[in-house]
Amino acid sequence: MSLLESHDVLANSGVAFGTSGARGLVEQFTPDVCAAFSLAFLHTLKGQFTVDSLAIAIDNRPSSYAMAQACAAALMQQGIQVIYYGVIPTPALAFAAMERKIPSIMVTGSHIPFDRNGLKFYRPDGEITKADEQSILTIEVGFRALENLNELTVSKAAAEEYIQRYLSLFDQPFLTGKHIGIYEHSSAGRDLYQALFEQLGAKVTPLERSNQFVPIDTEAVSADDQLKAINWSKEYGFDAIFSTDGDGDRPLVADENGVWLRGDILGLLCAKQLGIEALAVPVSCNSSIELSQAFKLVERTKIGSPYVIAEFAQLANEYASVAGFEANGGFLLGSDTEINNKVLKALPTRDAVLPAIMLLAATTSNKPISALVSDCTVRFSASDRIQNFPTEKSKQIIQTYTNDTAGLIALLGFEGLTVERVDVTDGLRMTLSNDDVVHLRPSGNAPELRCYAESTSDEKAQQLVVQVLSKVKVL
């Protein structure tokens, strides 16, 4: 039986860490690559934690179960007890594992196409750090090549605990009288959400469950999905539509008119309803957050949950309640918080359910979701991406034009405007002389170039994105 070195296997795999987890093509996640990641993760933890058990869960991608089998087989070689929670949302896995003070691995590629997949790693105290990522890639762990992958027995405990986390906050079914649509597609949480919202009092209509994996990107909602939500709202008279990305950590919520909310506006409304004092949010988020004056401090970070989480420790030294969210909608609760005189424990990883519930809790008969959004939206954002755009080309464009922003905006067709401010926290973010914002950044998860824009109206922001991406394609 051949012996392998984790460092060598990973260095030759073609798999790399992105903004959240290791991502690559399905064929790159061979059983030995999955084993190498799992064991390198385990040994990275050994200096800080005593580990005898590890939890694993998956999304609905066709390749995810076999990857979980490989991770489990490698860990069991090392005498680690593996708890397999089956198909559940990433935050459900993270919450269950953190409650048990054990590490966990989520097999998911989130929103990227089904020909790709990934692994997300959680320490017993939450998401791994960027330093942990480097350790996983460089540590040397010897292991035997995998020969047999055994079937895994599913525990339902994590799914049940995740639902109870939110049901326990409310003495009354506060959604009585509300009609909520749930766009199920292939979301990892699709078997949980109907029961959750029904137990909170809502009438629920499930929509469009898919047997094929659907790569929903909450930051770049397709025109087809935009039209679906509007038509569903007209047909059913929904108060809201709820959905998520593939692994259930990023929410997608539509108002009573079927208009999908921007993730950062949803996060803003959730944080206000929770009474959060200090926020950490990525540089790509809408500046309505600061302009709302609802928070004592708003700290801007690079894009990706590890960067948001890294700010929590510092913020917690000075503020009683801390949270973060991203432009994609994922909400991270950085401190224990009281709701209805009940404690909601911190969950410092992206979660789709909390912002949806808090948004619905904020609605009243004369304040539907659209009115809440209108009240808090001072600036308007839009985003989209060019798919199958080589990452190296994206990086080259940003590197070339960071020192020639005047040349770039001329190429992008912004005649008569100048660049007033440049932010290179993550990518190239330019504030123009008319206060419009254009932000270019390579995706950390797939070969895509993303564009974020901010302006004085939704239409203007959308136009900016279309204009910029059409010009970038021919650079």
Digit-coded pLDDT (tens) for 114-134: 899 999 999 999 999 989 999
Domain C-terminal end among 132, 156, 180 = 156
pLDDT of residue 75: 97
Active-site hit among 38, 63, 64, 110: 110
**HSE-CB of 322 using CA atoms within 13 angstroms:** 21
The model's pLDDT over 161-172, given as tens digits with 9 standing for 90+, comes to 999 999 999 999
In a domain, 161, yes or no: no
Q: Which one-letter DSSP state was computed for residue 346?
A: P
Q: Which residues of the chain have pLDDT under 70?
A: 1
Same domain, 359 and 399: no
CB atoms within 10 A of CB 373: 18
Sign of CA dihedral 66, 69, 73, 74: positive
pLDDT of residue 110: 87
CA angle 28, 31, 34 (to 5 degrees): 75
pLDDT of residue 444: 79
The model's pLDDT over 419-444, given as tens digits with 9 standing for 90+, comes to 999 999 999 999 999 999 999 999 87
Same domain, 182 and 329: yes
- Please state the domain count of the chain: 3
Same domain, 130 and 245: no
In a domain, 163, yes or no: no
In a domain, 50, yes or no: yes
Same domain, 173 and 283: yes
CA distance 361 to 139: 47
Per the annotation, the verdict on 110 as an active-site residue is: yes
Same domain, 114 and 25: yes
Same domain, 190 and 336: yes
User: Residue 307's domain is classified under what CATH number?
Assistant: 3.40.120.10
pLDDT of residue 365: 79
Domain hosting 396: range is: 380-472
Same domain, 323 and 407: no
CB atoms within 10 A of CB 208: 14
| Letter string b/e over residues 55-92, b meaning 16 or more CB atoms within 10 A of that residue's CB | bbbbbbbebbbbbbbbbbbbbeeeebebbbbbbbbbbb
Q: Which helix (H) or strand (E) segment is 68 a member of?
A: helix 64-77
CA distance 232 to 218: 18
In a domain, 217, yes or no: yes
pLDDT of residue 1: 55
Same domain, 411 and 357: no
The model's pLDDT over 205-220, given as tens digits with 9 standing for 90+, comes to 999 999 999 888 898 8
Same domain, 384 and 372: no
Domain C-terminal end among 124, 156, 188 = 156
Model's pTM, two decimal places? 0.91
